[in-house]
């Protein structure tokens, strides 16, 4: 924090007023990156006609973003975990959710409004649950970097959108596949 304060030409105490630990500063920076990335991708997102296509595009982009910041992710995840567990009394206004949670909530809300996503849960509830699935995908990828983060993200999305239950369509598809072997 001392190096950061020196580089920013602010007193260390001033820096600590806004960011109690360096991981809070990292999280703030990541949230800014996420917001800027969404602005940059607005046109590309609009080009995808369905919620599912928009999310798949965004998850691929997100996997690239995470890969570029892999060195910092363990610190960021540890910070997020500590905030979820203990809360943060020094949190500034509007930061109760991560930048990604806010974006996911808006996307799920738009999908609910268009009839593409069930409304039995609020968009915020769905976004929160989905964010934890993504968190798990990142944690698993960090533990085993040989896995493909994009595939993990897309699998989490498929689970969110389609659940784990085997549907009649799935059963028919499996029985046809089994019959052709």
The total number of residues shown for the chain amounts to 181
User: Which domain, by its residues, includes 146?
Assistant: 2-179
Quickly state the pLDDT bin for 79 (edges 50, 70, 90).
confident
Domains of the chain: total: 1
Quickly state the pLDDT bin for 83 (edges 50, 70, 90).
confident
Sequence-distant (≥ 6) Cβ neighbours of residue 52 within 8 angstroms:
116, 161
Sequence-distant (≥ 6) Cβ neighbours of residue 127 within 8 angstroms:
101, 104, 105, 107, 108
What CA–CA distance (Å, rounded) separates 30 from 39? 14
Instruction: For the full predicted model, state whether its pTM sits above 0.75.
Output: yes
Q: Which of 61, 69, 56, 60 is nearest to 38 (CA)?
A: 61
Quickly state the pLDDT bin for 147 (edges 50, 70, 90).
very high
The residue to which tokens 């990142």 are assigned: 138
> Could you read off the pLDDT of 8-59 as tens digits, one per residue?
899 889 888 888 888 888 888 888 888 888 889 999 999 999 999 999 999 9
Alpha carbon distances (Å) from 177 to 87, 126, 139, 158, 168 = 50, 33, 34, 21, 14
pLDDT of amino acid 177: 64
Residue 145 corresponds to which tokens in the numbers above? 């970097």
Quickly state the pLDDT bin for 90 (edges 50, 70, 90).
very low
Neighbour tally for 85: CB within 10 Å:
7
pLDDT of amino acid 92: 42
Cβ atoms of residues 51 and 110 within 8 Å: yes
pLDDT of amino acid 35: 85
Q: What is the CATH number of the domain that holds 115?
A: 1.10.357.10
- Tell me, rounded to whole angstroms, the distance of Cα 5 from its chain centroid: 29
pLDDT of amino acid 122: 97
pLDDT for residue 158 is more than 50: yes
């Amino acid at each position: 924090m001392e190096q950061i304060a020196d580089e920013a030409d602010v007193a260390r105490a001033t820096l600590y007023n806004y960011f109690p630990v360096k991981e809070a500063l990292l999280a703030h920076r990541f949230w800014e990156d996420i917001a800027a990335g969404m602005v940059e991708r607005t046109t590309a997102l609009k080009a995808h006609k369905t919620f599912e296509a928009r999310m798949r595009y965004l998850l691929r982009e997100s996997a690239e973003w995470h890969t570029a910041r892999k060195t910092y992710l363990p610190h960021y995840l540890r910070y997020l975990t500590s905030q979820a567990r203990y809360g943060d009394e020094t949190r500034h206004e509007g930061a109760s959710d991560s930048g990604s949670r806010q974006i996911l909530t808006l996307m799920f809300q738009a999908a609910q409004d268009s009839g593409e996503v069930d409304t039995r849960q609020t968009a915020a509830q769905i976004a929160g649950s989905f964010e934890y699935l993504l968190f798990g995908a990142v944690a698993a990828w960090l533990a085993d970097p040989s896995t493909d983060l994009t595939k993990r993200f897309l699998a989490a999305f498929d689970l969110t959108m389609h659940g784990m239950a085997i549907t009649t369509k799935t059963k028919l598809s499996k029985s046809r596949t089994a019959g052709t072997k």
